[in-house]
Amino acid sequence: MDRSDMRESVRGLQRYYNPPVGGALRMDTNTNVLGSNPAAEAYLRGLRVDLNGYPNTYSDGLRDALAGLYGLQRENFVAGNGSDEVLNTILTAFAEPGRTVCTIPCPSYSLYSYFAALASGSLREAELTEDFQLDVDAMAGKGEEGRGVLIVPSPNNPTGNCFRRRDVEEILARHEGIVVLDEAYSEYAGQTMVDRVDEFDNLVVCKTFSKAYAMAALRVGYCASNLKVAGMLNDVKVPYSLNAVSEGAAIAAVGDQDFIRRSVGMVSEQRPRLSRKLKELGFEPYPSDANFILARSPIDHARLVEGMRERGVLIRDFGANRRTENCVRPTVGTEELNRVMTDAIEDVLAEERR
Ligand SMILES: Cc1ncc(COP(=O)(O)O)c(C=O)c1O
């Protein structure tokens, strides 16, 4: 067997970014720096589960908790093994293989192109404007392109900014196919469209427990849509894909909104401080509504990231990509973690000057 035996559309795929970490401080994955979700942890400590039974097929308990949180119905929701699985389900349900299966802004989340390849179709990329906002004409497809799935991450990763609400609404009105609003970081921006899914024929809002909810290890994600579309998605999704332990932990986490407020409050306080500090150190940080900041490095990006790694701090490197030339993307930490991170940056910069 060799790669020519693989399905043509996936032959070229490479493995996702996953560096060996050892004991390094991870400021490269935008998870919650306050640590594990306390309600989920308490749930796991008291866990008594019948390992011999299947979980609830469509995670009804979690979908009920989410319905309560947003004032919607259980049947508005689709739960999955991380929002990555949910995105995959959406493309499986609504993208026709061999066609333009998906349109995304550029730059945006790197895994979208992977899911387009899994869906056996082509990916259309619509360049963001100079200030990293949506080019509505370029995004909204007509004819063949209009039937594909359009994905809008807001806040966007890696740029960090939210897109203008009026642009998202115009795209929803003009695009004939499904529009996915990927809100992986929306808690930090204090805005969501989940509570508006019933107003639109084609809106699917994706969310995750991996970021503000501090549960990335348990792989829980979900999307919300109108009853018709959510029903179609549940018909397609892999049954039992969310295990019983993760579902129980996620239900507990939904019940502890204080932790989310605390996490978001910390980021709102530290984000402008970190941005100011980066500016002082010669970086050009972009405005962010998320728990990370994209910033142009004053020295070569690869040397900075490597120097940081040697000092035990990981930040994500986007410097070799178009539109984010020489940029890095650190997660916003607590005051203490930001000090550790910026001390390491200062040290690398000082070494460069020697
Ligand atoms: C924009 C965006 N969407 C989705 C995800 C995936 O989230 P999950 O862990 O729920 O699969 C990420 C993770 O980094 C992300 O940045």
pLDDT score of 49 = 83
DSSP string computed for 250-319? HHHHHT-HHHHHHHHHHHHHHHHHHHHHHHHTT-EEPP-SSSB--EE-SS-HHHHHHHHHHTTEEEEE-T
Spatial separation of the C-alpha atoms in residues 183 and 207, rounded to whole Å: 5
User: What is the mean predicted confidence (pLDDT) over 315-327?
Assistant: 97
Asked whether 28 and 328 are in contact (CB, 8 A), the reply is no
Report whether residue 216 contacts ligand 1, using a CB cutoff of 6 Å. yes
The percent of residues in the chain predicted with pLDDT above 90, rounded, is 90
Cβ-based burial of 7 (10 A; exposed 0-12, middle 13-18, buried ≥19): exposed
Position 145 scores a pLDDT of 73
Average pLDDT, the chain: 95
What confidence tier does 16 reach under pLDDT thresholds 50, 70, 90?
A: confident
Ligand 1 center from residue 99 Cα (angstroms): 25
pLDDT(21) > 90: no
Instruction: Supply the pTM of this predicted model.
Output: 0.96
- Least confident range of 140-149, 232-241, 311-320, 327-336: 140-149
What is the 337 CA–ligand 1 centroid distance (Å)? 23
Closest atom of ligand 1 to CA, residue 84 = 11
Ligand 1 atom closest to residue 108's alpha carbon, by position in its atom list? 1
Whether residue 241 has its Cβ less than 6 Å from ligand 1: no
User: 182 in ligand 1 pocket by Cβ < 6 Å?
Assistant: yes
Mean pLDDT over residues 130-155, rounded? 90
pLDDT in tens, 163-218: 999 999 999 999 989 999 999 999 999 999 999 999 999 999 999 999 999 999 99
pLDDT attached to residue 298: 98
